[in-house]
Structure 1
Amino acid sequence: MYDRILVPTDGSAGMGGVVRHAVELAAFHDAEIHGLYVVETGRYSTLPVKTGWENLTEMLREEGETALDDLRERTGDVAVETVTRDGVPSTAIVEYALDADCDAIVMGTHGRGGIDRLLLGSVAERVVRASPVPVTTVPVSDHEMTAPTDETEARAPE
């Protein structure tokens, strides 16, 4: 059913759960993962930057490479292709999904609410609304979530 699964990353610490979900889905379908990091240069274009715009862009690209390296390390035996693009994240994610003929998108959502959501918006929500392919959102947190081990089993609330 799925041959190519897109996993956009912002480099958040909580992306481990998102990548694990995508890897399980890819392994089940014998699919490859496409990792995407979007350099949102437009957000910073009006800031006064003493060291120069080129240095800021280079720093953002380095952050992207670090995020994509982390994604590659977490994919294990699943084939992965990574790319960095410039632009508005939600638009770039949907465009890449179309360009690379992806069958699904697995992405994190920070679950912001209230004023943060009003001011920052939700990339995941915009992707869900605009994507022509299925989108699975996985909650991320500020710290890495760990899967239960044999010693500690996951329990449903009683």
Structure 2
Amino acid sequence: MYDRILVPTDGSQGVERAIQHAVDLATAHGSTLHAVYVLNSASYGGVPIETSWEGLHDMLQQEGEHAIERVQAIADPAGVPVVGSILEGSPSKEVVRYAEENDCDLVVMGTHGRGGIDRLLLGSVAERVVRSSAVPVLTVQVGDGERER
């Protein structure tokens, strides 16, 4: 049913719950896991001018490589093949674009499950992906488990 499962990662420890869920699904279906990390350069617009863009970009690239390596480390014991990609742009748009261009069957991504004013002010990459993706999206609660209702 699922040949290609996409799992976006931000490299945080909390997202590992979503990664493990994606690995479990990939194991059950004999799937390939596509791990993506998106460099969101727009969110670094407030960095002081003296900061070297090249240095910042290199740092973000390295962070992305570590995040992809962590997905690989979680998938390896289960024998799940991983294709890793580092993308640049708006995280939600890049996840949707990658899923569609690579014929992914499912997107598995973490969400913090914020409610109320936090969701209104912060928005949610997962929510934007759910609303705009033609590919089915499975969200997995990550973080401390406290939800505002």
Other-structure match for 2:52: 52
1:153 corresponding residue in structure 2: none
RMSD: 1.5
User: What are the Cα deviations for residues 24-56 of structure 1, in whole angstroms up to 9, with x where unaligned?
Assistant: 111111110000000000121343242211111
Residue of structure 1 equivalent to 2:64 = 64
Q: Distance in 2 between matches of 1:62 and 1:55?
A: 11
Deviations 1:105-144 (A, max 9, x none): 000001223333222210000000011011000011169x
How far apart are 1:58 and its partner, in Å? Answer: 1.2
| Residues 126 and 78 (structure 1), Cα distance of their counterparts in 2 relative to 1, 3 Å cut | same
Count of aligned positions = 143
- Structure showing greater radius of gyration is 1
Structure 1 unmatched ranges of 5 or more: 144-158
CA contact under 8 A between 1:13 and 1:142: conserved in structure 2?
Answer: no
Deviations 1:55-92 (A, max 9, x none): 11111111111111111100021011000000000000
| Greater Cα shift, 30-39 or 48-57 | 48-57
Task: Give 2:80's aligned residue.
Answer: 78
Instruction: Tell me which amino acid in the other structure corresponds to 1:87.
Output: G
- Which whole-Å CA distance do the structure 2 matches of 1:113 and 1:57 have between them? 32
1:104 to 106, 131, 135: 106
TM-score (norm 2): 0.90
- TM-score when normalising by structure 1: 0.85
